[in-house]
């Protein structure tokens, strides 16, 4: 288990600016998560609502659970009071459902706008050209707090141009200065070099 080494690497690369490490625990058992928790980690990320809820129910209450995967509207109600941050706000339809359910539960739900940074049409996320309009529309929803942006680089390509494009969209948006969630096991170094403030790392922590 490489947690301590990865944590240190992230801190070293981040230098003086804070970069939050989210430990992506999808596919991992409760025991594996406990081992990382015991070393001080409190931010964990899951892709699926069912897994997040099941793990949150049995693990310590001070864990902050990040939802990373695509969120279906019919699962919004179950998850909004269990997650600290939804990284995958990718449509107005989803935003409207979060707003509706959050209002009923009297919650403010924190979300990142997921940007389709790969440019691949069938991927989830808001297109670059629509990002600022999307932010404006969601800003009118009182029970959603937009906390930043999230994006990914496509597998098997140099990630740097993709991260630079994401960073530019972020700095040119009203979310500049908030969270920029980018970087995974294979590309977190490049992501931090391009201005990431939150990395989502799974595989290399546990192998
Ligand atoms: C799985 C996943 C990660 C972590 O990927 P690793 O390669 O295991 O580090 C990060 N973000 C999202 C959205 C993911 O689905």
Cβ(200) to ligand 1 under 6 A?
Answer: yes
Residue range 61-100, pLDDT digits in tens: 999 999 999 999 999 999 999 999 999 999 999 999 999 9
Residue range 136-162, pLDDT digits in tens: 999 999 999 999 999 999 999 999 999
Cβ(202) to ligand 1 under 6 A?
Answer: yes
Cβ(68) to ligand 1 under 6 A?
Answer: yes
Give the distance (Å) from ligand 1 centre to CA of residue 152.
Answer: 9
Q: The pTM is what? A: 0.97
* In CATH, 3-205 is 3.20.20.10: yes
Domain coordinates of the chain in residue numbers?
3-205
CA distances from 16 to 153, 189, 198, 203 (A): 25, 15, 14, 26
Q: Which of 47, 202, 207 for mutating ligand 1's site (highest number of atoms within 8 Å of CB)?
A: 202
Residue range 37-65, pLDDT digits in tens: 999 999 999 999 999 999 999 999 999 99
Q: Which of 45, 155, 163, 196 for mutating ligand 1's site (highest number of atoms within 8 Å of CB)?
A: 45
């Amino acid at each position: 288990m490489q947690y301590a080494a990865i944590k240190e690497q992230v801190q070293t690369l981040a230098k003086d600016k804070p970069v939050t490490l989210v430990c992506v625990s999808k596919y991992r058992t409760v025991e594996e998560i406990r081992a990382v928790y015991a070393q001080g980690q409190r931010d964990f990320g899951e892709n699926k609502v069912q897994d997040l809820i099941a793990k949150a129910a049995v693990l310590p209450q001070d864990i902050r659970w990040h939802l990373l995967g695509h969120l279906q509207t019919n699962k919004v109600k179950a998850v909004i009071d269990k997650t600290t941050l939804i990284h995958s706000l990718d449509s107005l339809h989803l935003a409207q459902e979060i707003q509706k359910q959050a209002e009923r539960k009297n919650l403010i739900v924190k979300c990142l706008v997921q940007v389709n940074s790969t440019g691949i049409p069938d991927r989830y996320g808001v297109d670059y050209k629509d990002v600022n309009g999307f932010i404006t529309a969601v800003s009118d929803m009182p029970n959603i707090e937009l906390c930043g942006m999230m994006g990914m680089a496509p597998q098997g390509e140099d990630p740097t141009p993709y991260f630079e494009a994401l960073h530019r969209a972020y700095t040119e948006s009203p979310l500049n200065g908030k969270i920029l969630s980018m970087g995974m096991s294979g590309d977190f170094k490049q992501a931090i070099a391009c201005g990431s403030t939150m990395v989502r790392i799974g595989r290399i922590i546990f192998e």
